[in-house]
Amino acid sequence: MPSAAETADTYFGAVGRQDLAAMAASWKPGATSDIIGLANLTAPDGVIAWFTELFEAFPDFALVVKKVIADAGSAAVHWSAPATFNGTGTFEGFKPNGATLDIEGLDTTPVQDGLITQLGAPQTGPELAGQ
């Protein structure tokens, strides 16, 4: 069974390569992804639909993993992604305009049986208190 770090590497590597099939295979069906301020997705179909739109609008989107920190059941992934909004599709209702972007993010992901069970920004709560 892949570790949480291996699962995160596999998934985020697939995002960087725009490999939708490998991305879908990394998710536990019914798991959720919270892209803060944009979307709450259910895996794998909702995640794949959202990323299909992203990749069509930003054809050079190239996520790069900067650092992974993991324990037995979860991983935190710091990443960056440059891209140009010059594709053939719209994104979140906007038409491509040639703008460039370079975004950076930090996602946490619990992993169970080698599959992602949730993905999103780091959460705070009682389980993290005192850490």
pLDDT, residue 114, reads: 96
- For the chain, count helices (H), then strands (E): 3, 6
Q: What is the pTM of this model?
A: 0.89
Q: What is the pLDDT of residues 77-86, one digit of tens each?
A: 999 999 999 9
Query: How many other C-beta atoms can be found within 10 angstroms of the C-beta atom of residue 109?
Result: 26
Q: CA 51 to CA 84: how far, in whole Å?
A: 15
pLDDT, residue 131, reads: 39
Q: What is the mean pLDDT of the chain?
A: 92
